Amino acid sequence: AEYDLLVLNGVAITHNETNEYDIAVKDGKIAKLVRRGEISISQAKKTIDAEGAMVMPGGVDAHVHLDEPPLFGKGSTADNYETGTRSAIAGGTTTVITFAPQNKAEPSLLKCLAATHARADNNCYSDYSFHLICSNAGPLAISEFAALREAGISSLKIYMTYEALQLQDSEVLDVLFEARKQKIVTMIHAENGAIIDWTIKKLEEKELFAPKYHVNSHPPVAEIEATYRAISLSEFIDVPILIVHVSSPSAAKHISDAQKKNLPVYAETCPQYFTLTRKDLDKPGFEGAKCVCSPPPREGVQDHEGIWKGLEDGTFTILSSDHCPFIFDNTETGKSSVITKEYPVGHFKYIPNGCPGVETRLALAMSAKRLTMERFVEVTSTNAAKLYGLYPKKGGLVPGESDADLTIWYPEGMKEYQLNNEMLHHNVDYTPYEGQTIKQWPRYTILRGEVVWDKDNGGITKPKGYGKFLKRDTSSLAGPRNAEEWDVEKF
Ligand code: URP
Ligand code: ZN
Ligand code: ZN
């Protein structure tokens, strides 16, 4: 047969087109998109009938924490590369970009990269790449940026908060300056560490320890100020940045103002910021710990509307999960370690920050029915691939160029149901989205032409190890406004 696989009777949706196309796959790549009926079944080894459902490029989740050591001093992440990427494909995501974290005591980024490769090698169900987390921006780390590019890494994450990770502004400038030279995208966790630490002390003085005080300790102004500062530093160096996990509409306003000035400022938001509120942390006992992440969920509907507006109007380039899983009920990261005699309801500052969500990202965004389907593809797949140097191999349906990574949905949606953790494939004992209404879920996930998830026939259908490391190129989104070398004499 001429083709390995034919996906028939689907509605093929990309970031800019919707067509009733059949999709022919050969050697793991998209070979052809044709009008329905133009290719006959006999021309392919295998067929899948989409039955009129939407067929999209596989999801690209560019913010996933797997198998990270206890960098925040609060226990290691619950999912490793096996369980995290298994969860990804069960939720329609075919590519994850996870983090290779650097401990401040380790000056070499290349060593951290090698250690992360060893954790991921032969363990993945989805394709994957890494962002380096740079927490020690010393001369060795900076001198290694060029070698990182050689190794297929074109992005870094830095933090403006968390003692174990935080860089001072001068170090942020060092990173941005070299990132510009090496065409690296810098992701910035923009929260003002001093405001957070100072506010934690004030809460402790009043003996306010319950999980809900995590929200008080991370006020919107900490995010808004740091976002504006990050934009200013990147404007000075004239280099692209991505502000990760934006939760406040007022921070988004700084971002859209920067974008109106044509600055290469990109932004990410996550499902927690349009589904959860501070009320989800205000539950009896320790229950609220399940929704502790940073920045925290905000006040309510107004904030959620602001996040949707940013997703609709392009302020947010990507919608990622920030999957950062911890076990709720255990002795390392959960209630048995945080609840002590001294702190009978726990102490919010010892709760590890982060929520699981790699599997629920696409279904939650789809079930909300807010975005056009083309915009949905753009923010959940295409833009992540473009921003991080994977497009059109990932994030598109370009014949001859794109990997045959597909997410196929149910034809008429599904009968509504309430999400529960039993359905999920991560290694976490809860989901923060328990009880959320689900109207759609990926029926098939296809990775490089192979069905890896078939919801109605066995679920996960291929063993771990099929997922491969992706060497990445430079970003294909707009870079520095000025092509010339940065020169201090211009200022
Ligand atoms: O609370 C969060 N977001 N934890 C994950 C680590 C990070 O800052 O992304
Ligand atoms: Zn972060
Ligand atoms: Zn994160």
The per-residue pLDDT for range 207-217, each reduced to its tens digit, is 999 999 999 99
Burial of 311 (0-12, 13-18, 19+ CB in 10 A): buried
267 strand-pairing partners: 243
Once rounded to an integer, what is the mean pLDDT over residues 373-392?
A: 99
Degrees (nearest 5) of the Cα angle 103, 295, 289?
90
> In terms of DSSP bridges, do strands 29-35 and 318-319 run parallel, antiparallel, or are they unpaired?
unpaired
Q: Is 322 in the pocket of ligand 1 (CB under 6 A)?
A: yes
Q: Whose CA is nearest to atom 5 of ligand 1?
A: 354
- Between the CA of residue 373 and those of 15, 368, 369, 394, what are the distances in Å? 8, 12, 9, 18
Complex ipTM, two decimals?
Answer: 0.98
Ligand 1 and 101: CB distance under 6 A: no
Sheet holding 5-8, edge to edge: 29-35, 21-26, 5-8, 47-49
Q: Give, using CA atoms, the residue closest to atom 4 of ligand 1.
A: 354
Is residue 71 within 6 Å of ligand 1 at its C-beta? no
Q: Calculate mean pLDDT across residues 469-488.
A: 97
If pLDDT is split at 50, 70 and 90, which confidence band does 92 have? very high
Question: Pick from 120, 126, 57: which is nearest to 391 by CA?
Answer: 57
Distance of alpha carbon 178 from alpha carbon 433, whole angstroms: 40
Number of Cβ within a 10 Å radius of residue 264:
20
Query: With 80 as the cut, is the pLDDT of residue 255 above it?
Result: yes
The pTM (predicted TM-score) of the whole model is 0.98
- Site to substitute for ligand 1 among 166, 294, 320, most atoms within 8 A of C-beta: 294
Residues 343-366: tens digit of each pLDDT: 998 999 999 999 999 999 999 999
Identify the residue whose C-alpha is closest to ligand 1 atom 2: 354
Full 3-state SS string of the chain:
CCECEEEECCEEECCCCEECEEEEEECCEEEEEEECCCCCHHHECCEEECCCCEEEECEEEEEECCCCCCCCCCCCCCCCHHHHHHHHHHCCEEEEEEEEECCCCCCCHHHHHHHHHHHHCCCCCCEEEEEEECCCCCHHHHHCHHHHHHCCCCEEEEECCCCCCECCHHHHHHHHHHHHHHCCEEEEECCCHHHHHHHHHHHHHCCCCCCCHHHHHCCHHHHHHHHHHHHHHHHHHCCCEEECCCCCHHHHHHHHHHHHCCCCEEEEECCHHHHCCHHHHCCCCCHHHHHCCCCCCCCCHHHHHHHHHHHHHCCCCEECCCECCCCCCCCCCCHHHHCCCCCCCCCHHHCCCCECCCCCHHHHHHHCCCCCHHHHHHHHHHHHHHHCCCCCCCCCCCCCCCECCEEECCECECCCEECCHHHCCCCCCCCCCCCCEECCCCCEEEECCEEEEECCCCEECCCCCCCCECCCCCCCCCCCCCCCCCCHHHC
- Residue 75 pLDDT class (50, 70, 90 cuts): confident
**Residues 6 or more apart from 22 whose CB is under 8 A from it?**
6, 7, 8, 9, 10, 33, 34, 35, 36, 37, 38, 39
The residue with greater pLDDT, 333 or 261, is 261
Cα distances (angstroms) measured from residue 212 to each of 90, 189, 304, 447: 31, 22, 19, 40
**What are 148-188's pLDDT values in tens digits?**
999 999 999 999 999 999 999 999 999 999 999 999 999 99
pLDDT(403) > 90: yes
pLDDT at 73 over 70: no
Which of the four pLDDT bands, split at 50, 70 and 90, describes residue 330?
A: confident
pLDDT at 119: 98
Query: What integer best gives the mean pLDDT of the chain?
Result: 97
Amino acid at 21: Y
CB atoms within 10 A of CB 429: 16
CB atoms under 10 Å from CB of 45, counted, come to 12
Q: What is the pLDDT of residue 412?
A: 86
pLDDT at 18: 98
Residue 74's pLDDT band (boundaries 50, 70, 90)?
Answer: confident
Which tens digits make up the pLDDT trace of 463-473? 999 999 999 99
Query: Which ligand 1 atom minimizes the distance to the CA of 189?
Result: 8
Q: How sure is the predictor about 337, in pLDDT bands with cuts at 50, 70 and 90?
A: confident
Q: Which atom of ligand 1 is nearest to the CA of 324?
A: 5
Q: What is the mean pLDDT of residues 228-242?
A: 98
What are the Cα distances from residue 156, in Å, to 113, 166, 179, 244, 247?
A: 12, 14, 9, 11, 21
For a ligand 1 pocket test, name from 280, 322, 348, 361 the mutation site with the most ligand atoms within 8 angstroms of its C-beta.
322
Checking if the pLDDT of 139 tops 80, the result is yes
pLDDT of residue 336: 86
